[in-house]
Structure 1
Amino acid sequence: MSTVEFLGANDELTHARVEFRSQPHPIPADARVAYKLAQVALVLYSFNRNSASIENLHLFTWSLQSRRSGQMLLSWWSGSRYASTVTQRSDPHLPVALNVGLIRGMVGITGANHNRVTLQPSGVLLAQRIISDDDLMTTEKTYLRQFNKLSDAAVSRRLARNS
């Protein structure tokens, strides 16, 4: 059966003009590798010894995705909201950024189970440059300062996790 037979010879669809146009679809900021690497550098720099478990890195980069997710983590952290709701959050863009960070030597994977991410000297330098520039990533820096110096143990205690 031909298309004309299927649609009907007199049907206006048989004579419709189909046109395809390229339309740009901007990539959201949190999906851009350079931005995500800067976030990773800031988060890890906020942790003791510039190192965090992959689970905590996911949690904190997830909390930077939106005001709502940031407020949720802050309420768990302060104890005003019970953290028994699923506190393991993941950032879908983090694995790509970590792979690029590994290739570029900005981060390293450590730990017996390869479950820790550690900021390497070039990553520390990036974090320090971001922190020293008052006009760069101000929202993220202000947000992370609310947690003081972080550690995996502090996150576990605050969120009542079993590590």
Structure 2
Amino acid sequence: MSTGFLDVNDELSNARIEFRSQPRPIPADARVVYKLAQIAVVLNAFNKNSATIENLHLFTWSLQSKRAGQMLMSWWSGNRHASTITQKSDPHLTVALNVGLIRGMVNITGANHNRVTLQPLGVHLAQQIELDEELMGAEKMYMRQFGRLSDAAVLRKLARNS
């Protein structure tokens, strides 16, 4: 007499198990090293290598896709109202900032801990990226369109359009 239990065990013991590697690539903007380099490029565009976290979020968000970049440029140039901006944020920025803080690349200051400043190691990274024309070329070219930035200039430029 056969029980269902034994039949299942026989099937399992004869089953062929095969593992196949199926890579699941991590998008570049989710990689901490890339995000740290991106932070260095963005903060390097600001006076004193320092910006509010909100502005850092805004500019790193704008580097995520061509559409996001075009949207910020449209707000910046006054072709579109910035009232739709509400608060653009980069979901991967927080992890990278924590790593950058631990590694001594950035410092977070301000009464509300809302200002990020490149430290000497971060400034060095930004300089190295700047020296290599091909390294992060698209990001550097995009950021140059805004000229030298400051938190006040960003506020004035985007508030003017709202």
TM bracket, shorter-chain basis: 0.7 to 0.9
Q: Which amino acid is the alignment partner of residue 26 of structure 1?
A: P
* Alignment match, 2:141: 142
* Alignment match, 2:23: 24
Deviates more, 1:46-55 or 1:82-91: 82-91
RMSD: 1.9
Q: Shift in Å at residue 88 of structure 1?
A: 1.3
Alignment of 1:1-163 (within 5 A): 21-160=20-159
Q: Shift in Å at residue 21 of structure 1?
A: 3.8
Aligned-residue identity in percent? 77
Q: Which amino acid is the alignment partner of residue 130 of structure 2?
A: I
Q: Tell me the SS of whatever aligns to 1:108.
A: strand
Name the TM-score, length of structure 2 as normaliser.
0.86
Deviations 1:70-115 (A, max 9, x none): 0000000010101111341000000110010001000000101100
Give distance in 2, aligned partners of 1:86 and 1:136.
Answer: 29
Q: Do the aligned partners of residues 32 and 136 (structure 1) sit closer, same or farther apart at CA in structure 2, a change above 3 Å counting?
A: same
Q: Tell me the SS of whatever aligns to 1:118.
A: strand
Q: Shift in Å at residue 136 of structure 1?
A: 0.5
Question: Is the helix fraction higher in 1 or 2?
Answer: 2
Give distance in 2, aligned partners of 1:77 and 1:87.
Answer: 15
Give distance in 2, aligned partners of 1:35 and 1:112.
Answer: 29
Name the TM-score, length of structure 1 as normaliser.
0.85
Q: Tell me the SS of whatever aligns to 1:102.
A: helix
The gaps in structure 2 that reach 5 residues or longer are 5-14
Q: Which amino acid is the alignment partner of residue 63 of structure 2?
A: L
